[in-house]
Structure 1
């Protein structure tokens, strides 16, 4: 066989073997790889090059080597899943770098991290003062995670005692001008509903590049023609306004009537409406 064809043949085999091996070993980002997994990746690449270009050697020996490396890696990953001690030995433990605003100098030396590198990592987390850090830890992957002191943490609805509705994954129901039936069925909607919503917006399906439905059943569309502006859905705002108007009307009726029982009835209904609005406000004000 000519050398060129043999190299092409071996390269094709190496690509197939590497693809199969990566499917078996799973998918993790480079930043999440352990040291052994990083070494394994380099070794498998070198073995694949050996299979492709070393025409003087038997190509099947490279396949055997890749298989052995793959099996060893799978064995180590299985051991890590089953044993905490194995995980700590192979990937190392997480290391505390800052505690209560104090930098742990000995731990910095242990992970071979300079003060400049630590401050650089903190700045990437939008932290510019070590004293603002309650807790900083270097994970086995090398990433540094930071917990700010309570005074420096951003306010959330929980801090303010405000209840918010849970957020669910938006479903993409239109893509490249075509309706996606499976996401529609997932949220219990039909093509007829979708066409009705598009008619309300005055947009043909062919002009929709992307259409998504949020967890409250509101349709948002992005058009191929960027010059056309599509109004945002206002159903929740309109419903909130109607409820507030009902509350105001009930209070007004209670103030204007002279009949005692009727006044009490209106006031009671107004209080009930106020409670309903308070419960629905987190949903209607998203």
Structure 2
């Protein structure tokens, strides 16, 4: 067998074998690497390349070595799950870099991090002033997480005392001009509804690159033709306008009648309608 053919075959076998072993190690191996996992990844890659290219050595010996490395890695992960002490020794612990707006210089030196690198990592978190940071910590995987001081955190409905309804994940109902039946059914709609919504926006199904339905049943689309301007869904603004009109009509009825009982009833209904509007306004203007 020619050497180039043997290399191709060995490489393909190695790719499949390495893929199976990586799946066995799990997603953490490719997302959050500890020190040992970093070493394991480098070693596995080196052994895999040796299997592919070193045609003068017996390939199964390298495969055995590769399997042993994976089994050792699995064993250490199992021990880490059972022992906090081992987990702390292998993975390390988080290091506080900023506390109450004050940079911890000693910890910065301990992690061999310069002040320019720290500022760069803060900018990646959309933080440009150290004084705004309540707490910043470098995690064992090297990532820096930041907690802003209370006065610099963005407002939430909870801060304003507003209760909002829970949202479900948007459903992608159109991809590359094709209707995705399962997400469409999950959203509670059918083809007829989808075609009607597309007609409202003046877009054909063939011109839709991505179409998504949000929690409130509104269809948002992105077209293949980037120059085509698609109008935003108007259901929520229209509903808010209708509710306001109902409230205004009730006030007008209260002013136009001379019957005290009817006037009181209209005024009470107007107040109740205003409470409804105030309650759902955050949902309709988002």
Bucket of the pairwise TM-score, normalised by the shorter protein: over 0.9
- Equivalent pair of 1:132/1:149 in contact (CA under 8 Å): yes
Q: Distance in 1 between matches of 2:124 and 2:235?
A: 40
Distance 2:31 2:16 in 1: 25
Give the corresponding residue for 1:250.
250
Deviation at 1:231, TM superposition (A): 1.5
Deviations 1:256-284 (A, max 9, x none): 21111011110111111112112221221
Matched residues in 2 for 1:108 and 1:277: separation? 52
Whether the aligned pair in 2 keeps the contact of 1:165 and 1:282 (CA below 8 Å) is: no
> How many residues get paired?
286
Report whether the alignment pairs 1:260 with 2:260. Answer: yes
Q: Distance in 2 between matches of 1:236 and 1:129?
A: 38
Q: Contact 2:108–2:114 at 8 Å: present in 1 too?
A: yes
Q: Which structure 2 residues correspond to residues 3-14 of structure 1 after superposition, within 5 A?
A: 3-14=3-14
Instruction: After TM superposition, list the pairs within 5 Å mapping 1:72-87 onto structure 2.
Output: 72-87=72-87
Residue in 2 that maps onto 1:147: 147
The aligned counterpart of 1:284 is 284
Cα pair 2:198 2:204 within 8 Å, conserved = yes
Preserved CA contact (<8 Å) 1:31 1:141: no
Greater shift, 40-49 or 94-103, is seen at: 94-103
Taking the TM superposition and a 5 Å limit, the aligned residue runs for 1:226-245 are 226-245=226-245
Partner residue in 1 for 2:58 = 58
TM superposition score normalised by structure 1: 0.93
Runs of 4+ in 1 over 6 A off after TM superposition: none
Match of 1:168 in 2: 168
Which 5+ residue runs of structure 1 have no aligned equivalent?
A: none
| Separation in 1, partners of 2:210, 2:122 | 37
- Deviation at residue 81 of structure 1 after TM alignment: 2.7
More moved, 197-206 vs 267-276: 197-206
Give the TM-score normalised by the residue count of structure 2.
0.93
Per-residue deviation, residues 238-261 of structure 1 (Å, max 9, x unmatched): 111011111011111112211110
Structure 1 SS opposite 2:212: strand
How far residue 29 of structure 1 moved from its aligned partner, in angstroms, is 7.5
